[in-house]
Structure 1
Amino acid sequence: MLELALPMLQIMTNHSLKTNTMPSILTGSKKYSFLLLLIAIASCQTQDKMQRLQGNALGTSYNVSYFDKLPNQMVSDSIDAVFLRMNQSMSTYWPNAIISKVNRDEPVTIDADFKKVFQTAKAIWEQTDGYFDPTVGALVNAYGFGPDKSFKQIDQATIDSLLNISSFDKVSLLSDGTINKVHKNTYLDFNAIAKGYAVDALASMLKSLGYTQFLVEVGGELFASGLNKEKEKPWRVAIDHPKQDANRTFIATLPLQNQGLASSGNYRKFRTDASGKRYFHTVNPQTGETVQSNVLSTSVLAPSTMLADAYATALMAMPYEKGKTLISNLSTIEAIWVLAVNDSVQVVATPGFTYDLE
């Protein structure tokens, strides 16, 4: 999970000039000083300030930072509208969402958001040899990580049965805008890509309103545009240390500019059975079992947060060496892995992933 490393907000006081206090005669250096004062006051009144909006949506939290002289109500209203769109299209927690109707095998025409996510997910499913697969939703639910939070210790026969209906090649988008499923019980879940897509949708909304320097975060997934105007430097963000103690710590920080960044990790989301065995939320689509490996977390830089989100999930599901080979063949994608090595952690990154260890 990613944590924003945001600067403290500075509250600037507006100044007003009363004409009845102005001297009647100003000469020489006094006139020059007074003009400088006027310029300074005008600058304080017109300078853009960081505006921050935060709240809860999509089952997580969000933060949006942008620069303007005053808060813009249109930005706030547009954020709500974007999240409503996402829920109506792809929330498995909304019974009337498009994806919920698809999962119940009801006839429904998908919208533009669903189509874009579906097509991107299909492409990444092919690129990753199936390690990114939104159809493992039935297995995710069986392990207690879906809308039904109850943990179920499932046997091999159940895993095999669910694997039989869990493969993206059994789901297709038809020309009339409907979804065809070979097995009616195949369960789609875009959780591993939809948050990233929501970040991109918010970024697109801000750009449409004329903003070019902003930072958007939803559930730890990020997109940074332009510079942090307060510092005239790229936005600075941090990656959580996978082994947390009582105080939250970071393992690395990095600059982020005109890119998306997403992380995936098994260090927080897991279930424990009666024997103490842990079942992690990342499911291997090849075996149907929850992933247990030395990969503690992955973070991905990409042109969009949707891509970063999906690839980060794929890297958690596949073996480390296979993940390295995958990323080396993708020219616009960079990644960092946090690996468990004996009793310590090791950080490994691709050449284009610039970071500072904490």
Structure 2
Amino acid sequence: MPRAGAGAGTTAGAAAVHLLGTGTALPGEPVGNDRLSHRLGIPSAWVETFIGTRTRHFAVDLDSGRVRWTLEDLCTDAADRALADAGAEPSEVGFIVLATATPDALMPTTAALLADRLGIEGAAAYQLQSGCGGAVQAFAVARALLSVTPSGLGLVVGGDVCSKHLDLSQDFRELPPGALVNYVLFGDGAGAAVVSGTRRPGTQAVLTHLEHRLAGLGLPPGQRVEWFGAADLRSPDSRPPAVTEDYKAVEHRVPVLARELRDTLLTASGWRPETVDYLLPPQLSGRMTERITSELGHGFEWEPVSCVAETGNNGNALVFLQLDRLLPRLTPTQRALALAVESSKWIRAGFTVEAPQEAPDA
């Protein structure tokens, strides 16, 4: 007999997710490398050369550390825009699935607070603890919910406020590169999509073959994000850093997992590479994403849809930001591959995207 869980994550043949509208939210004005370098006391050229991210957005004030936007704020803005884009009312939403690694609190969940802010009474609100693969997880959960009520509407949301983990009071000149990279790599933001199990007038795209698999059995995590509270009695000096990342392991493993995921999705969908029009590559940093995109699309005329060089790595929001850029370009008969690799425990996640083909039933 196969082991329990063998084959989990493969979703070929299951019902599709119809995208009716998307929306995104980024806090404040973009923070460029000159501004960030001045604040951190590091050379702007270092950021440009090794990271390649040009701008990012922060929910906290860089000078004072004051929180200006919460995750709830950003998710609400993104959801409002997605509903408007879909021409839908909050009262039509039957469930919310929210993916995040950085909730505002452990309880109440940001998903429940979002439902309250939107004025949605009686909706089911689910929250997933996840990293960059969270958007795909959320779409997979939404698809399962829509299989029960295909004609209903759901709201899929992803977002992160990574800057809450960054200590802006320290002397950045004393930090090693492995710790300093987190201050220039990440950004904050949120995204949302209104989904249905069946095509409706105004359907913008269809997500078909979803893939979400653990790919790091026995390997140490590539990233770890701590949670500290009153129960943690260690002194601040003895606590581990809030965010740690094995950047060398990320550079080595993510391209490999991305290629595996690309091939898996092409096989599951039965698509030939030359029939794909767009590639939504994994979003890590401007420099690394450029390299991975070049390797994944080598020999094919795939137009990349990327955002990380302008938005920073904002975790669970990234796929939504890419979809928000893709949908206005997608024309009938066109296709896209969306790939995400989460380094926390090496998770590969992605889906295929198609323009809607047939007119909805009268």
TM-score range, shorter chain: under 0.3
Q: Which has the higher contact order (CA 8 A, sep 6+)?
A: 2
Q: TM-score, normalised by structure 2?
A: 0.22
Q: TM-score, normalised by structure 1?
A: 0.23
